[in-house]
């Protein structure tokens, strides 16, 4: 399993962001750690309640059951290195989405030692300018179902 690091910046508050891509076979997932991300937030995925009320409900009271999990939008600001392989890959994923054929990826977030991995696709990857002496980019990711069991993250160099 290959590991690429997207920057030489090591800002870590026990927060990590990983992008997994599949090279064609189920066992061929490889991870890219995105460094230079200052904060990572787990997506808000509160289940919707499905109304199942009908006239034969006991006492004619409203009934609801836990329903479908909604997808979530994740927006991530990160430092931008235009010629780095992992950033080129994020741009290519965004281009596939724009072309109408988004690639299914996995996104792993580690926040405060808690790891969560989701099926997702990149919606956009846009260089946004500079902040101080840093070049920045904005990455938008559509988050779907959680993957269980959690994949084991590779050791970072």
State phi, psi for 71 to the nearest 5 degrees. -75, 165
pTM of the complete model? 0.74
By DSSP bridging, strand 114-131 and strand 29-34 are unpaired
Q: Distance of CA 7 to CAs 11, 80, 86, 119, 151, Å?
A: 10, 8, 9, 24, 23
Q: Domains (ranges, CATH) in the chain? A: 3-40+72-146 (2.30.110)
**Helix (H), strand (E) counts: the chain:** 1, 9
**How far is C-alpha 124 from the geometric centre of its chain's CA atoms?**
12
Distance CA(152)–CA(27), nearest Å, equals: 13
- pLDDT (0 to 100) of residue 34: 79
Average pLDDT over residues 52-63: 75
- pLDDT (0 to 100) of residue 78: 85
95-129 pLDDT, tens digit each:
998 898 989 999 999 988 889 999 999 999 888 88
């Amino acid at each position: 399993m290959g590991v690429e690091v997207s920057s030489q910046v090591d800002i870590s508050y026990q927060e990590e962001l990983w992008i997994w891509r599949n090279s064609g076979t189920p066992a061929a997932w490889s991870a890219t750690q995105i460094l230079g991300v200052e904060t990572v937030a787990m997506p808000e995925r509160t289940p919707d309640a499905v109304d199942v009320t009908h006239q034969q409900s006991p006492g004619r009271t409203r009934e609801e059951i836990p329903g479908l999990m909604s997808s979530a939008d994740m927006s991530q600001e990160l430092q931008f290195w235009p010629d780095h392989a992992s950033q080129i890959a994020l741009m290519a994923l965004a281009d596939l989405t724009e072309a109408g054929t988004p690639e299914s990826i996995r996104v792993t977030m580690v926040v405060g030692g808690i790891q969560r991995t989701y099926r997702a696709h990149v919606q956009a990857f846009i260089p946004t300018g500079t902040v101080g002496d840093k070049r920045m980019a904005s990455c938008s990711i559509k988050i779907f179902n959680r993957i269980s069991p959690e994949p084991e993250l590779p050791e970072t160099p």
